[in-house]
Amino acid sequence: MQGEVTEDQVAAKWHEISPLIDRMSERIGDRDDFKVAAGSSLASDDALTNPYQLSHSVRLCMTAGVDHLHSVKRLVMDSQVLHVAAPFSLSRGALETFSAAFWMLHPIAPGDRIAHGLRWHAKNFNDMHSAVDLLPDVVQNSTLKAKYAKLYRISDAHGLSRKSIRDGYTSTAAVKYAEEHSSVRVLFPWQLCSGFAHGRPWAYLGASSREQFETEDPQVQHLRLTSSLTTVLYPALQALHLLQDVLKLFADRSNTSPIV
């Protein structure tokens, strides 16, 4: 948020966006919503990426992002609990997953959308095997190499680089893509949220209210850090705006109408 705003304005904005977030939570749970019309560009993308349909990947990102965003709203508005870090960690999850959805949907060229969708699945496979392969007595249904082979069958048909598919993607790259191509500035709020999630002093000391208390050591002070509705609103509002861009893209690609 730019410029100085009053506490009343911040509270009013929270009350304005809360029903929108509730509505999106309902929509995500509606199996009849977000249908892909036959003949649409997204239907074509789904056919070309089968069985790794692009719309399914986007829907999963939207579901995860809305769940994170709705949790912020439930915590801050419904429960009236203002944690120092938790709202930022939740907003970070929303910003990351909405950015990934935008990154997959946005490219004009179908080949680029297909590539992004396959890279998203490669990232899923890489993360899964990094985690599950370390567990004792867990047998995978297929090897990572076999999973890559299924992706390659699709990528080869479209002349896509196997290495680029295998390398997957990073949340940082997706957020930077959304920063460049969406109508929302998402990079800094995402970085701020990541700072809170990882306990980075720059985020805590730079974006929290502080009370200082002297100690027996004159060079050491105790700090009491508290958050505010204003600072918590900033990343949540940016996440909601990015979701609106994702919804518009989904509507355009699937020939449906966005409802927010």
Within a domain: 64: yes
Distances (CA, A) of 124 to 57, 89, 117, 127, 253: 11, 21, 11, 5, 24
Neighbours of 12 (CB within 10 A): 12
| Core vs surface per residue 47-67: b (16+ CB within 10 A) or e | ebbeebbbbebbbebbbbbbb
What pTM does this model have? 0.91
> Do 188 and 1 touch, CB atoms closer than 8 A?
no
> pLDDT digit of tens for each residue in the chain (260 aa)?
455 788 899 999 999 999 999 999 999 999 999 999 999 999 999 999 999 999 999 999 999 999 999 999 999 999 999 999 999 999 999 999 999 999 999 999 999 999 999 999 999 999 999 998 888 777 777 889 999 999 999 999 999 999 999 999 999 999 999 999 999 999 999 999 999 999 998 988 888 776 776 777 777 766 677 788 899 999 999 999 999 999 999 999 998 555 44
Q: Does residue 259 belong to any structural domain of this protein?
A: no
Number of domains composing the chain: 1
Q: Examine residue 1 and state whether it is found in any structural domain, yes or no.
A: no
Residue 52 lies in a domain: yes
Mention every residue, 6+ apart, whose C-beta is less than 8 A from residue 252: none
Give dist(CA 186, CA 149) in Å, integer: 35
Q: Which residue has the tokens 């505010």?
A: 228
Q: Establish if 2 belongs to a structural domain.
A: no
Query: Is 101 part of a structural domain of the chain?
Result: yes
Cα–Cα dist 131/139, whole Å? 12
Within a domain: 260: no
Q: What range does the domain containing 111 cover?
A: 7-254
Residue 137: what pLDDT?
76
Distances from the Cα of 137 to the Cα of 131, 132, 146, 175, 219, angstroms = 13, 10, 20, 37, 52
- For residue 218, tell me if it sits in a domain: yes
